[in-house]
């Protein structure tokens, strides 16, 4: 039974990773991923770490305090597609 549980948990994790294209923590404020893409492009960030720095040091840094680095990096990956 333990094995079945592990497989279920693994499957759920995999599914959430695949459907993670719309990043909830950004869309909450930015409404759509298209808008996020535009903003990401406008920062001129060339890497995921660049984008984290741009947002953390940007004029809206306070608004982005609650967002995870991980989500910002995901947004970069999404925007550079």
Can you tell me which of 15, 26, 32, 77 binds ligand HEC, judged by CB under 6 A? 26
Q: Considering beta carbons, is residue 11 or 35 the nearer one to ligand HEC?
A: 35
The number of CA neighbours under 13 Å toward the Cβ of 22 is: 9
Q: How far is the CB of 16 from ligand HEC (least distance, A)?
A: 16
Q: How far is the CB of 17 from ligand HEC (least distance, A)?
A: 16
Return d(Cα 78, Cα 20) in angstroms, integer. Answer: 10
Q: Does 28 bind ligand HEC (CB under 6 A)?
A: yes
Return d(Cα 65, Cα 71) in angstroms, integer. Answer: 12
Which region among 3-11, 13-21, 63-71 touches ligand HEC (by CB under 6 A)? Answer: 63-71
- Cβ of 77: how many Cβ atoms within 10 Å? 13
């Amino acid at each position: 039974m333990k094995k079945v549980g592990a497989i279920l948990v693994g499957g759920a994790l995999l599914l959430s990773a695949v459907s993670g294209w719309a990043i909830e923590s950004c869309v909450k404020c930015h409404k759509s991923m298209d808008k996020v893409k535009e903003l990401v492009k406008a920062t001129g960030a060339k890497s995921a770490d660049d984008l984290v720095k741009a947002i953390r040091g940007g004029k809206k840094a306070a608004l982005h305090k609650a967002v995870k680095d991980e989500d910002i990096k995901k947004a970069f990956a999404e925007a550079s597609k």
